[in-house]
Amino acid sequence: MQLDAEAAFFFSMIVTATQAQNDEKSVLIIGGGIAGLAAASKLGEAGFSVVVLEARNRIGGRILTQHDSSSDAAIEFGAEFIHGIAPEIWEPLQQYGAEVTEVEGESWCVTDKKLSPCKFFAQVDAMLDKMNDSQPDESFLTFLQRRFPNPNRDPELEEARQHAIGYVTGFNAADPGLVGTHWLAQGIRAEEKIEGQRAFRSKNGYEDLLNAFRKRIARRGVKVRTNTVVERVGWRRGRAEVMGHNGDDRVVLTASQVLVTLPLALLKAAPGQLGVVEFVPHLPKEKVESLEKLEMGQVVRVVLRFRHRFWETISPPNDQSKSLSNMSFLFTQDESFPTWWTTMPRKPPIITGWAPFRSAERLAALGRSSIVKKSLRTLANVLELNLKGLESWLEEACFHDWQNDPFSRGAYSYGKVDADGAQQSLSAPVENTLFFAGEATDTSGHNGTVHGAIASGYRAAEEMIYARST
């Protein structure tokens, strides 16, 4: 019997689906970010037949590394810093042979247009330490208003209060009026356990980590299909059918288990939109309710490369003996880009601007050229430089807007007031058929981090392995 091309294609899909359906160890992973890759590596090692479906033309998800053409320095548009000594990151990097260095240097602040070394960290830590998740949950702003009701009477206290808000909006990309103190306190405790105040970089950026997992999954027979957009998951206990498209071609695959590693914003969005998956039947009520207790933080970041490291010639007005030559971070307030950092310990003429929360929301409505202009204007204002001169030094500007990226719709997740247990509910398997991973599902306080995403992938893989053994 001879088949035309279209019939042959659908026949091959039916054969593939039937084979997958009959294989009790068949697994489909939706999402080729770091959580999906981590799960795939563990499942492949356990002898599962694993296919990863990734909507983009690359793996990595919210990890996106490029290299500067002049210095070959790693330029990150997504995750950048290795926070602390988390084994989930360090073990694969060491096995891969990556060169990792600690981020050192000086942090500078601009307050009331005055440049000086940062001294607010101890005060902010003291404020944050007063959060207690044994007390009723409340928003971070409510907490500040209750614990520090009259900050204007003490200028130093008010400055620390503003920096604390900056920490919550910047580091956590969270709305201080929504984020819960229970969630923040849990994250701080988790960070302390892994020395999370220390920051590191791998020589080739997070690309080293992706390459480490790329080697692992290739060695374990995992298949990765990029450019494959999943639209629908039909499921019943012990069987799931995944439908989507790859370009103009329809994709239909079945498996005994499906792991969903989609970013939080895509799980919260209504079906029918690019990147959003419809579940048939719907996800359980408690899982849907958990989504409402979590939120996606927004960030816009700009990477600027100049002809030279102009900041090395800048000194604080009250101490000309010092300079910004060893600057790692620059913090300011009331600007479009309140946080900046260099590529220390490497020293190419590159600096990154970070705009979270409301700043990101405002910037997202602008075009590329307007965003770059605002970033340059911020630098010129805080460092008291001539804007035209700064523009003349600029060689290249690039950025990635994660909130307008259809396959992420934001930076990373945070918990709102009364979100206790939300991650546990979100991460819970459904009928031992649907499983969930990704940074938003981490239950140990490491949401919003690469190591939290990896840990969630490992956890989900172990759940899937256990489900097949019972």
Choose which CATH entry (3.30.9, 3.40.50, 3.90.660, 1.20.5) describes domain 65-86+199-204+299-404.
3.90.660
- Give the integer Cα–Cα distance in Å for 190 and 184: 10
Two structure tokens written together for 446: 């490491």
CA neighbor of 454 nearest in space, from 27, 30, 37: 37
Q: How far are the Cα atoms of 285, 390, 412 from residue 292, in angstroms, in the given order?
A: 11, 44, 15
pLDDT of residue 151: 66
Asked whether 29 and 259 are in contact (CB, 8 A), the reply is yes
The first and second tokens of residue 322, run together, are 């010092």
Residue 72 pLDDT: 82
SS (HEC) of the chain: CCCCHHHHHHHHHHHHHHHHHHCCCEEEEECCEHHHHHHHHHHHHCCCEEEEECCCCCCECCCCEEECCCCCCEEECCCCCEECCCHHHHHHHHHHCCCEEECCCEEEEEECCEEEECCCHHHHHHHHHCCCCCCCCCEHHHHHHHHCCCHHHCHHHHHHHHHHHHHHHHCCCCCCCCEEHHHHHHHHHHHHHCCCCCEEEECCCCHHHHHHHHHHHHHCCCEEECCCEEEEEEEECCEEEEEEEECCEEEEEEECEEEECCCHHHHHCCCCCCCCCEEECCCCHHHHHHHHCEEECCEEEEEEEECCCHHHHCCCCCCCCCCCCCEEEEECCCCCCCEEEECCCCCCCEEEEEEEHHHHHHHHCCCHHHHHHHHHHHHHHHCCCCHHHHHHHEEEEEEEEHHHCCCCCCCCEEEECCCCCHHHHHHCCECCCEEECCHHHCCCCCCCCHHHHHHHHHHHHHHHHHHHHC
Domain 5-61+207-296+425-469 shares a fold with domain 65-86+199-204+299-404: no
Buried b (16+ CB within 10 A) or exposed e, 135-166: eebbbbeebbeeebeebeeeeeeebbbbbbbb
> What pLDDT sits at residue 299?
93
What whole-number distance in Å separates Cα of residue 266 and Cα of residue 61?
Answer: 13
Residue whose structure tokens are 């007005």: 317
Q: Can you name the CATH fold of 5-61+207-296+425-469?
A: FAD/NAD(P)-binding domain (3.50.50)
Tokens of 282: 């719907």
59, 405 contact by CB (below 8 A): no
In the chain, which residues have pLDDT < 70?
A: 1-23, 151, 318-321, 334
Count Cβ atoms below 10 Å from residue 438 Cβ, excluding itself: 32
pLDDT at 4: 42
Contacts with 96 (C-beta within 8 Å, 6 or more apart), sequence order: 208, 209, 211, 212, 215
Note the pLDDT of residue 430: 98
Order of all β-strands in the sheet with 82-83:
82-83, 199-202, 100-102
User: Which pLDDT score, from 0 to 100, does residue 23 have?
Assistant: 65
Give me the residue spans of the domains in the chain. 5-61+207-296+425-469, 65-86+199-204+299-404, 119-193
